[in-house]
Structure 1
Amino acid sequence: MTILAIDTSNYALGVALLEDNQVLGEYITNLKKNHSVRIMPAIQTLMKDCEKVPADLTKIVVAKGPGSYTGVRIGVTIAKTLAWTLNIPLVGISSLEILASGVGRYFDGYVSPLFDARRGQVYTGLYQYHSGELTSVKEDRLSMLSDWADSLKETGKSILFIGNDLPLHQAAIEAALGSQAIFAASTEQNPRPAELARLGKDKPGEDIHSFVPNYIRLAEAEAKWLEAKGKILNG
């Protein structure tokens, strides 16, 4: 089994090849550059370096969001196109789950991955490893950071926070949770595409045509359009 993993859901762009239980290669950058231009060359370079061709692939695993509306859409569109063209299974994994998976197995507590969603909001969820498997304690959501911190305080457990947007919210988290909050090192903040591949390795394929990203909320432009349309219809 040779799996291609694709993650363009946020600033970090990542692709990986996993063959059985061996990571053949990974490519990761954390740059504010156009993923739509860079993702296919990244895939092609990785496959060439690993001496693989498209016909060798047996599954595509993609980060399905939440995250950047445009970034999520780019990754999912490419993943669907490749899976359909090659006639191989497609699996989607939460972009937050990928972050939690990388550090959670070595932490005796809860893991809260997060992405900034502006205006004091974050995309986040709560995860924990149980009997060697990553489990969801609180489902992925869009939340005011203050409300999320209050709910975590009630757990009474240590919370490991992770994500490239952590510096934007770390002071507020520390103020709310004190010593209950633990922060991942800067070198651990990028989601690992190899973790993405591992998470999707044994999951069944999804229907390619009905597969959609998990934006959690509407894109800002779409939300404003619906709001304006509602005002017109309501008079």
Structure 2
Amino acid sequence: MLVLAIDTSTKIGTVALYDSTEGVIGEINLNVKQNHSDTIMVVIDTLFKLSKKEIKDIDKIAVSSGPGSFTGIRIGVAVAKGLAYSLEKPIVGINELDILAELAGKRTGKIIAMLDARKERVFYAIYRYFDSNLVRESEYLDGEIRDIVKDSSEEILFLGDGAEANKTLITELMGEKAIFNLKSNNIPRSSILAELSLNKEDNLFTLEPFYVNKTQAEREKENQEKLKNTYI
């Protein structure tokens, strides 16, 4: 099975071609100031050319469904759904935090994958390995760093750009109990996304971005509805 994986949930856009038998055929990570909407199709086209594959060869499309950048998530999901529809291929959405957690590398102990939400807030989830299987122990959450790590009595491995952005604060709060991966290991890998998608499938028409919390537009709409109801 040949999978095209697309991840634009963070500032680094990443796409991969992954074969269920051969492994990674090709993977491109792109970190530029342009919006993902300006680059993602160019990167996908380049990936196929370098891999000497054609887009009609793929069997499935995998996409990061978020959380992360609201705009980035929408772009990635829209592109993936458009390709799946036009090529008549199955599609799978995988949570970005689950992708990040796989970077822990079979480490024992508590793992927290984090995506930066600014102002000392992160999107996060808690994981742990049991019998070599990565298990998520929490819901997908949105919270403040101080609340997340308070009263922690064990070492925690922190992953993701949320951990990188808040490393100083986390270290101040936890000291040596805070463990961080190397910077290069905090980058989501679309090849991991592809591998996680192998035995899964979503409904093309119901697959939606996963935000954890509401977008600004959604909050404004909700406030308008509340004001409207006040005067009824």
The alignment's TM-score, normalised by the length of structure 2, stands at 0.93
Q: How far off its partner does 1:115 sit? A: 1.3
Q: How far off its partner does 1:118 sit? A: 2.3
1:98-177 → structure 2 map (5 Å cutoff): 98-102=99-103, 104-150=104-150, 153=152, 156-177=153-174
Listed one character per residue, the Cα deviations across residues 90-140 of structure 1 (whole Å, up to 9, x for unaligned) are 1111111111112x2331112211111123311011112323322101121
* Structure 2 residue aligned with 1:5: 5
Q: How far off its partner does 1:224 sit? A: 2.4
Q: 2:58, 2:131 → 1: CA distance?
A: 30
AA partner of residue 136 (structure 1): R
Runs of 4+ in structure 1 over 3 Å off: none
Where structure 1 has 5 or more consecutive residues not aligned to the other structure, the ranges are none
Tell whether 2:183 aligns with 1:186. Answer: yes
Where structure 2 has 5 or more consecutive residues not aligned to the other structure, the ranges are none
Q: How far off its partner does 1:193 sit? A: 0.8
Q: How far off its partner does 1:213 sit? A: 1.1
* Structure 2 residue aligned with 1:87: 88
SS of structure 1 residue aligned to 2:136: strand
* Structure 2 residue aligned with 1:62: 63
Contact 2:7 2:13 in 1 (8 A): yes
Tell whether 2:222 aligns with 1:226. Answer: yes
Listed one character per residue, the Cα deviations across residues 53-94 of structure 1 (whole Å, up to 9, x for unaligned) are 122100111100001111000000111111122222111111
SS of structure 2 residue aligned to 1:174: helix
Q: 1:160, 1:200 → 2: CA distance?
A: 25
- RMSD of equivalent CA atoms: 1.5
Q: How far off its partner does 1:29 sit? A: 1.9
AA partner of residue 12 (structure 1): I
Q: 1:113, 1:18 → 2: CA distance?
A: 24
AA partner of residue 215 (structure 1): Y
Contact 1:105 1:132 in 2 (8 A): no
* Structure 2 residue aligned with 1:50: 51
Tell whether 2:196 aligns with 1:215. Answer: no
AA partner of residue 74 (structure 2): R
SS of structure 2 residue aligned to 1:139: coil
Q: 1:89, 1:80 → 2: CA distance?
A: 9
AA partner of residue 58 (structure 1): D
Q: How far off its partner does 1:185 sit? A: 0.8
Q: Which moved more, 1:173-182 or 1:220-229?
A: 220-229
AA partner of residue 147 (structure 1): D
Contact 2:102 2:192 in 1 (8 A): yes
Q: Which moved more, 1:33-42 or 1:223-232?
A: 223-232
Tell whether 2:197 aligns with 1:206. Answer: no
AA partner of residue 106 (structure 2): Y
Q: 2:132, 2:48 → 1: CA distance?
A: 30
AA partner of residue 108 (structure 2): D
